[in-house]
Structures are given as structure tokens and as C-alpha cells.
């Protein structure tokens, strides 16, 4: 009997990337049968196994959460060295179908709404809109790690690999807005991309940010990712980058910039990507919600997976990555087993980047159960001991714990 996923896979297009000066395109099918070995994401609600495949264009080994529209998760092992996530290991998330080709010469960005002069900008116009800026920033899905929620929540059952850090190059959004001239009464700036809903009547994926955030010096209309043109899967030719904010706002394949007056009542702002305004219990039904916006601090052990061995009687060197979220990382402590040990921090590559941490424990004689790392940021936000549960598993930042076995 054929599994439903295989039926879906057989209809698909092989995501072989053809990128050139003229644009980027995807061609030929990624078939479900091409998917490789399975990886266990350790999701408590199960099913926990996912296929690993290098078959997506421009991608190394990625965890397949969904083939189309693509949802690809980065295996944690990709975070074990350095702070930059290579383009071929960056997670991928599309809500709706993405175009399989974009021609650079034909691409236009409409700038409209509450502006003095509506514009239709070419890629050259965007590139000439202002100073070229590079920002190193973490791209993290608001639902990163939601598959680890207990009780289980709805949405893509991500492990912790829906995150990555890249160097983004572009112009300031405020310089692009200045070309059109923001009109009096402007409140928010909304973005749309080239992707369209797969089902009739479903809302388009459009997102907006408050005007003061849009005017920040580090909020970009970006075309570069780690020194290369944005890959198609990551939004060729242009995407929004809002450092410190969850990447749901980082609209890919940017085609429209719309200045709003008043609130944004569109689906993905007013109805979705929201969490309880104050902590709730899983039984609570009616509660006020707020949009998810800024990222809280998080830290991960990358040198050892859960259940890995440690050498009894030898010093144990642990290391990993951490992020401050929307503020600089202030510290990382190893916690658990009655420990509270400050970790050494690696080079600072900017407040929105991953930063490495390391710590060495003296001779360890037994299993280390439930150890973890706790990050704190410059705003005094510290990772909590217990999960702040919410129905969509957004903004997870509970201390992640592992157990190491003495051998």
C-alpha cells in the first residue's frame, strides 16, 4: 500500500536549484522515495521520526517536516561548530506555495499605502536606495521547538532546528520607505511576497511591523545571505530582515511594501501568530492574546546529544550556542544536578547573532541527569525552569535539558 506522503511526493517537483544572474528557479521532482534515513527528534507527543534528505536544491542533509510547501528542519549537529549557519543548512519554512522561479529583471517591489508617491521599484532601484548594510542575525521560527511541548500543541512539530544565524546584506527598509515618503498618520508597514495560498479563499501570507521598528537602522530589505544571493527557498530576490524578532515577519520574495494607518486586521497578524497575553493553563479557553514579536534568550548544548556517553573519571568539556534574543546575550550558566556554573562566552558577533559558550567540569564520576544551559540577556530576561505553555507552542525558551551516561 502506498503511504499518503508518497502520493504527495510523487506529484512534486524536484527542488533542483538553477540560480544565475537572471534569476533563480527550481526544477524536477523531490520524490518521497528519495528521502533517506530517519532521524528521531525526541518529540514527547510522537511520532518522532522524520526523514533526512540532501535532495532539496542547494541544501545539505535536512530533516523533512513537509515536502510541499517545504518545511525543512536543521539537524542540531549543524550547530556544533561556529556561529553562522551555512545557507545549505538553514531551515526552510513556507506557509503557502512558493513560485518555482523568479526572474530578476521582471521583479518589482510595489511601495504603497500611506505614502506620498507610490512606487514600483526594480532590484537596481532597491540596491540604490541607500547604504549597503550587513547584519548578523538569527532567523528563528516562532514555533521553533513546539514539538517538544507537553501537553502537545498544534502546528508543525519542530524540534529545535527551526533556527539559524546568517549574515544578511541589503539596504535599510527606512531608506526604501524614504523614496516613497511616509505620509502623516502612518502606524505600521506591511509586507507581501510572491507566494499565494494553496486553497481558495485562504488568506495571503502578509505581515506587518510597527512603524518605529520599520525605521530601525538594522531592519533590512536584504538580497544577500552569507555573501551569496538569497537562495530561492530563502526568498530570492529580496526578503525583510527584522533582527531580534521572530522570522515570521521576515517576509520572503518581497513584492509589496504597504504603509498602514491604524491597526492591521489581516489574518496572520490579527488572528494567527498570537499567544496569551499572560500565562494560561491548557484548560483555559477565553484569554486575551498578543502578537508574538521579539525573541527571548535561549541556549543549547551542541557538543553532546541527549543520552550521549561521558568518560567516567575524566574532565567533561561541554559547549554549545546561545542567543540573547532581542538584546545582547549577558551570560550562560550550566545548571542541573545542583550545579550553577558560569560558562565562558566565545567571540561576540553582535547582539542578534549566535554566541558560543563552553565549560569544563572536573572529573565526572556518574551519570549527569537533566543538565542544561540557561541564557540571560542584557534586559535581564532569564530562561525559565519550566515551560510557559501556550496553545501554539510559540516562543519556547524553557531550559533544554539532557542526560549524559557515565561509561
Nearer to ligand MTE, 23 or 336 (CB): 23
Site string for ligand MTE, 199-238 (x = CB under 6 A): ------x----------------------------xx---
CB neighbour burial string for 119-151, b if at least 16 within 10 angstroms, e if fewer:
bebebeebeebbeebebbbbbbbbbbbbbbbee
Write phi, then psi, for 41 (nearest 5 degrees): -85, 0
The answer to whether 154 and 119 have CB atoms below 8 angstroms apart is no
Considering only 169, 226, 247, 397, the residue that binds ligand MTE (CB under 6 A) is 247
Distances (CA, A) of 374 to 115, 256, 349, 405: 45, 40, 20, 21
Of 391, 189, 153, 161, the C-alpha closest to 277 is: 391
Query: Is residue 397 a contact residue for Mo ion (CB under 5 A)?
Result: no
Cα(33)–Cα(156) distance, rounded to whole angstroms?
Answer: 22
Q: Give me the least distance between CB of 25 and ligand MTE, in Å please.
A: 17
Query: Is residue 92 a contact residue for ligand MTE (CB under 6 A)?
Result: yes
Query: Is residue 252 a contact residue for ligand MTE (CB under 6 A)?
Result: yes
Query: Is residue 94 a contact residue for ligand MTE (CB under 6 A)?
Result: yes
Query: Is residue 274 a contact residue for ligand MTE (CB under 6 A)?
Result: no
Residue carrying C-alpha cell 548578523:
136
Contact stretch for ligand MTE (CB under 6 A) within 128-136, 172-180, 248-256, 347-355: 248-256
Nearer to Mo ion, 93 or 374 (CB): 93
Residues 81-100 that bind Mo ion (CB under 5 A): 93
Site string for Mo ion, 115-144 (x = CB under 5 A): --------------------------x---
Q: Give me the least distance between CB of 166 and ligand MTE, in Å please.
A: 9
Considering only 64, 214, 253, 280, the residue that binds ligand MTE (CB under 6 A) is 253
Cα(368)–Cα(96) distance, rounded to whole angstroms?
Answer: 43
Site string for Mo ion, 209-248 (x = CB under 5 A): ---------------------------------------x
* Residue 392 site contact among ligand MTE, Mo ion, none (CB < 5 to 8 Å, cut-off depends on kind): none
Cβ-closest position to ligand MTE: 193
Of 142, 138, 134, 147, the C-alpha closest to 40 is: 147
Q: Give me the least distance between CB of 377 and ligand MTE, in Å please.
A: 21
Nearer to ligand MTE, 76 or 316 (CB): 76
Nearer to ligand MTE, 248 or 302 (CB): 248
Residue carrying C-alpha cell 507537553:
150
Q: Give me the least distance between CB of 142 and Mo ion, in Å please.
A: 5
Query: CB under 8 Å to 306, separation ≥6 — which residues?
Result: 42, 402, 403
Maximum separation of any 2 CA atoms in the chain, in Å: 71
Cα(261)–Cα(183) distance, rounded to whole angstroms?
Answer: 9
Residue carrying C-alpha cell 528563528:
140
Query: Is residue 251 a contact residue for ligand MTE (CB under 6 A)?
Result: yes
Considering only 136, 160, 169, 248, the residue that binds ligand MTE (CB under 6 A) is 248
Of 74, 75, 76, 5, the C-alpha closest to 35 is: 5
Of 291, 344, 299, 349, the C-alpha closest to 320 is: 299
The answer to whether 202 and 193 have CB atoms below 8 angstroms apart is no
Contact stretch for ligand MTE (CB under 6 A) within 93-101, 111-119, 209-217, 316-324: 93-101
Question: Cis bond leading into 12, ω under 30°?
Answer: no
* Residue 91 site contact among ligand MTE, Mo ion, none (CB < 5 to 8 Å, cut-off depends on kind): ligand MTE
Edge to edge, the sheet with strand 339-342 lists: 309-310, 401-406, 368-377, 329-336, 339-342
Contact stretch for ligand MTE (CB under 6 A) within 24-32, 243-251, 332-340, 386-394: 243-251
Q: Give me the least distance between CB of 272 and Mo ion, in Å please.
A: 11
Nearer to ligand MTE, 203 or 307 (CB): 203
The residues binding ligand MTE (CB under 6 A) are: 90-96, 139, 141, 193, 195, 205, 234-235, 247-248, 250-253
The residues binding Mo ion (CB under 5 A) are: 93, 141, 248
Amino acid at each position: 500500500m502506498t503511504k499518503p506522503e508518497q502520493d504527495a511526493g510523487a506529484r512534486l517537483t524536484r527542488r533542483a536549484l538553477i540560480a544565475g544572474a537572471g534569476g533563480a528557479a527550481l526544477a524536477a521532482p523531490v520524490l518521497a522515495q528519495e528521502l533517506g534515513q530517519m532521524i528521531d527528534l525526541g518529540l514527547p507527543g510522537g511520532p518522532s521520526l522524520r526523514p533526512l534528505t540532501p535532495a532539496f536544491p542547494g541544501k545539505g542533509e535536512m530533516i523533512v517536516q513537509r515536502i510541499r510547501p517545504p518545511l525543512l528542519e536543521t539537524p542540531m549537529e549543524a550547530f556544533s561548530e561556529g556561529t553562522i549557519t551555512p545557507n545549505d543548512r538553514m531551515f526552510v519554512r513556507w506557509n503557502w506555495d512558493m513560485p518555482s522561479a523568479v526572474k530578476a529583471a521582471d521583479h518589482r517591489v510595489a511601495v504603497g499605502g500611506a505614502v506620498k508617491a507610490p512606487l514600483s521599484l526594480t532590484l537596481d532601484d532597491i540596491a540604490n536606495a541607500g547604504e549597503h548594510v550587513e547584519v548578523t542575525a538569527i532567523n528563528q521560527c516562532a514555533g521553533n521547538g513546539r514539538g517538544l511541548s507537553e501537553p502537545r500543541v498544534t502546528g508543525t512539530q519542530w524540534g529545535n532546528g527551526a533556527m539559524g544565524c546568517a549574515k544578511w546584506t541589503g539596504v535599510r527598509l527606512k531608506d526604501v520607505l524614504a523614496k516613497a515618503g511616509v505620509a502623516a498618520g502612518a502606524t505600521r508597514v506591511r509586507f507581501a511576497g510572491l507566494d499565494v495560498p494553496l486553497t481558495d479563499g485562504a488568506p495571503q501570507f502578509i505581515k506587518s511591523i510597527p512603524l518605529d521598528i520599520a525605521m530601525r537602522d538594522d531592519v533590512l530589505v536584504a538580497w544577500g545571505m552569507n555573501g551569496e544571493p538569497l537562495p530561492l527557498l530563502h526568498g530570492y530576490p529580496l526578503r525583510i530582515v527584522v533582527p531580534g524578532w521572530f522570522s515570521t515577519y521576515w517576509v520572503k520574495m518581497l513584492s509589496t511594501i504597504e504603509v498602514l494607518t491604524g491597526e492591521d486586521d489581516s489574518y496572520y497578524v490579527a488572528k494567527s501568530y498570537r499567544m496569551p497575553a499572560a500565562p494560561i493553563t491548557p484548560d483555559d479557553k477565553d484569554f486575551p492574546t498578543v502578537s508574538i514579536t521579539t525573541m527571548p534568550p535561549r541556549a543549547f548544548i551542541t557538543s553532546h546529544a541527549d543520552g550521549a556517553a561521558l568518560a567516567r573519571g575524566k574532565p567533561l568539556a561541554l559547549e554549545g550556542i546561545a542567543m540573547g534574543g532581542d538584546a545582547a546575550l549577558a551570560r550562560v550558566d550550566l545548571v542541573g544536578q545542583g550545579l550553577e556554573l558560569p560558562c565562558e562566552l566565545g567571540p561576540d558577533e553582535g547582539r542578534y547573532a549566535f554566541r558560543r559558550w563552553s565549560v569544563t567540569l572536573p572529573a565526572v564520576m556518574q551519570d549527569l541527569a537533566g543538565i542544561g544551559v540557561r541564557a540571560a540577556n542584557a534586559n535581564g530576561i532569564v530562561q525559565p525552569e519550566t515551560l510557559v505553555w501556550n496553545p501554539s507552542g510559540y516562543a519556547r525558551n524553557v531550559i533544554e535539558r539532557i542526560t549524559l551516561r557515565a561509561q
